[in-house]
Amino acid sequence: MSFEVILKDLMEQVPKTIGAILVDWEGEAVIENCHCDPYDIRFIGAHKGIILERLKEMRSAAQIGEVEDVLVTSDKGHLMIGCIDQYYSLVMNVERSCPAGQALYHFRQAITALKKEI
């Protein structure tokens, strides 16, 4: 299964998805699928590194183990960031009305599929 198919399936399985993007360690887009301006999802993807680095710093201080994924909920939506490996991450943005548990389930399934491809 290709990266493109994995992201397309994720977008179809999760209602109210705004976009999903696979990014490298520098925040550069590898591939995206979105219902918004591609610039918007690329911007979010590029900044995921800042969030992950801060979480890794907290993880080290709290000795809680490796960060696998993060769910950030705001008044407008849910942002999910998941580590595929040390070089690649998946980022997905969904509307607030989307059930977070359902979105996170499919998001994690997509990460598992991407790990097999990378």
| Chain segment 64-87, per-residue pLDDT in tens | 777 888 899 999 999 999 999 989
The predicted structure's pLDDT at residue 103: 97
- pLDDT score of 110: 98
| pLDDT tens per residue across span 14-70 | 999 999 999 998 889 999 999 999 999 999 999 887 787 777 777 666 677 778 888
Q: Are 10 and 106 in contact (CB under 8 A)?
A: yes
Q: Distance (Å, rounded) from C-alpha 92 to C-alpha 20? A: 4
Whether the predicted pLDDT of 90 surpasses 80: yes
CATH code at 108? 3.30.450.30
Q: Which domain holds residue 26?
A: 3-117
φ/ψ of residue 26, rounded to 5? -95, 0
How many whole angstroms separate alpha carbon 111 and alpha carbon 107?
6
Q: Quick check: 22 and 32 in contact, CB under 8 A?
A: yes
Q: Does 8 have pLDDT greater than 80?
A: yes
CB burial of residue 16 (10 Å; 0-12, 13-18, 19+): middle
Angle ∠(100,102,106) on CA atoms, nearest 5: 115
* Domain count of the fold of the chain: 1
63 vs 108, more confident? 108
pTM (predicted TM-score): 0.90
- Provide the pLDDT confidence category of residue 93 given band limits of 50, 70 and 90: very high
Bridge partners for 94 per DSSP: 17, 78
